[in-house]
Structure 1
Amino acid sequence: MAKSDEGERPDWRDERMGTKVRVALWLLAEVGEGCVFTREQLRAAFPNAAQVDRRMRDLRDDDWVIETQLTQVSLQAHEMLFVRAGAAVWDPSIRAARQRRSRSARLEALARDGCSCVRCGQAPGERFLDVAYAVPLSEGGQADLGNLITLCANCNALATRGLDETPGGDDVWMQLEGLSLREQSRLLAWMAMGRRPLSPAERAWQAYRRLPADRAQSLKERLGEVVNGQLGDDEAAQSPKAGDSAL
């Protein structure tokens, strides 16, 4: 993790610096790693800064770990946990070396991953999704599309905190051997593409999950009528007709 020595850090009150840099310095000087702070404390420290909450979230692009109730259920809605500092964003050389993930790259990564978490397969309607670095910048990862992956809040938190155990190659191979030839062929295609494409049913499910509750209920009932009607027609077609009998 690239950080300057504490004595070299600027004062977070210096308004000549950008809000993102000042928030990083404030977290180190006034909160401390492993400590909880509130949105009210953040906004009180920067009363004249526009969108200070967003500037704080931007620190995650530089490997700063700040958890909310989405990733740490023990937190209250107004609380956040400063887990760990990342890159020394106040250092011009560090800032220049670490390219910010562009919006287009994030959208491209989401589209490539089928708008689903690559770890657990969850879709946007089920869990909040984010785009993260597969290899953190602080560990030598590159700030490019090839190093971006889509993760849900839970999987991202586990990865960030080092709690997602990497399986051994032999364990994975045992799972691969247990698949049918058809499943192995499908998995091989996913490996070649570098992603698992969503089926039409999965895409429809994702779209359904984003509907308002009343519209979703209406479509569920409508689909139920269609499916039940088709099942009834199939049963009728398979039933022996009147007068038919085995000779």
Structure 2
Amino acid sequence: MVEADASWRDESLGARVRVALWLRDEVGEGGVFSKASMREAIKGTEQVDRRMRDLRPAGWAILTYRDKPSLQPDQLYLEKIGLPVWRAEHRAAGLRQISAKTRRYVYERDGHMCRRCGISAAEQYADEPGTHARLTLGHVNPHISGGGANAEDLITECARCNETVKHLTGVQMTKEQVWDRMKELPVQGKRQLLAWVKTDFRPLSPAEKVWGMYRQLPAAVREGLEDDLEALMRS
């Protein structure tokens, strides 16, 4: 059992517990910190940023410059310390375990594409040349503490959208901005969009579905399939 006086310096503790203890002891409610300072303190731990985010569903309020305009882009604000995850009875607070079967089902259901921006696994971002998408699972309602890990609660997201959605207090674009883009669509495009809006679902064509499957394969395998497809088209 991890006691209340446990130290974040104890490397035998889990990363989420160490991050929580560091925030409690070195930052405190109302304190400002940076991810760089947290990484420097919790060295040798992979995905320490994710472990910090895992505290939010346990009631920890950690704000970014998007939530608190007075902050710099590299600063975060510890508004509230939530459940003491260093105690055994709260160790799993807010954590939602996703089974491998559910993970596979959601990826396949969503066509191995980010449901928020449409990018596929390993595809390059148009606005970030050289940066390639990594798919992960997010929650339809990311701000709900203790939400479920059922397929209907999950959505395929790229890591960039997943990070953005977790920090948003509102929508990313205004209603007016989206409406302007809707009006610019041709008539057929408006009809198609309306059908998607009414069903809250964008069906993928067979080619799009195979594209999503193709993009999640290793690069060497994709190259082989490209050659095979070209040969098939020539036959």
- TM-score interval w.r.t. the shorter chain? 0.5 to 0.7
Indicate yes or no: 2:30 matched with 1:24. no
Partners of 2:122 and 2:188 lie apart in 1 by: 30
Residue number among 178, 188, 195 corresponding to 1:172 in the alignment? 178
Partners of 1:125 and 1:38 lie apart in 2 by: 26
Residue number among 7, 12, 34 corresponding to 1:13 in the alignment? 7
1:3 is aligned to none
Partners of 2:138 and 2:106 lie apart in 1 by: 10
2:147 is aligned to 143
Distance change >3 Å, CA 219–CA 134, structure 1 → 2: closer
Residues 131 and 151, structure 1, Cα contact 8 Å, conserved in 2? yes
- Per the normalisation by structure 1, the TM-score is 0.56
Distance change >3 Å, CA 24–CA 213, structure 1 → 2: closer
Residues 19 and 51, structure 2, Cα contact 8 Å, conserved in 1? no
Partners of 1:94 and 1:202 lie apart in 2 by: 43
Residue number among 111, 120, 123 corresponding to 2:120 in the alignment? 123
Residue number among 207, 219, 227 corresponding to 1:221 in the alignment? 227
Distance change >3 Å, CA 189–CA 112, structure 1 → 2: farther
Which structure is higher in RCO with an 8 Å CA cutoff and minimum separation 6?
2
| C-alpha deviation, 1:174, in angstroms | 3.4
AA partner of residue 7 (structure 2): R
Residues 111 and 213, structure 2, Cα contact 8 Å, conserved in 1? no
| C-alpha deviation, 1:11, in angstroms | 2.6
SS at match of 1:130: strand
2:127 is aligned to none
Distance change >3 Å, CA 53–CA 39, structure 1 → 2: farther
What 5-or-longer segments of structure 1 have no aligned partner? 1-8, 44-51, 66-80, 231-247
- Report 1:222-237 matches (<5 A): 222-227=228-233, 229=234
Aligned identity (percent) is 26
| C-alpha deviation, 1:143, in angstroms | 0.8
AA partner of residue 147 (structure 2): A
| C-alpha deviation, 1:142, in angstroms | 6.5
Decide which structure has greater helix share.
1
Indicate yes or no: 2:66 matched with 1:60. no
Partners of 2:54 and 2:105 lie apart in 1 by: 16
| C-alpha deviation, 1:99, in angstroms | 6.0
Query: Which of these two proteins has the greater Rg computed from alpha carbons?
Result: 1
SS at match of 2:115: coil
Partners of 1:150 and 1:94 lie apart in 2 by: 28
Residue number among 111, 114, 133 corresponding to 1:114 in the alignment? 111
RMSD, matched Cα:
4.3
SS at match of 1:151: strand
AA partner of residue 28 (structure 1): L
1:208 is aligned to 214
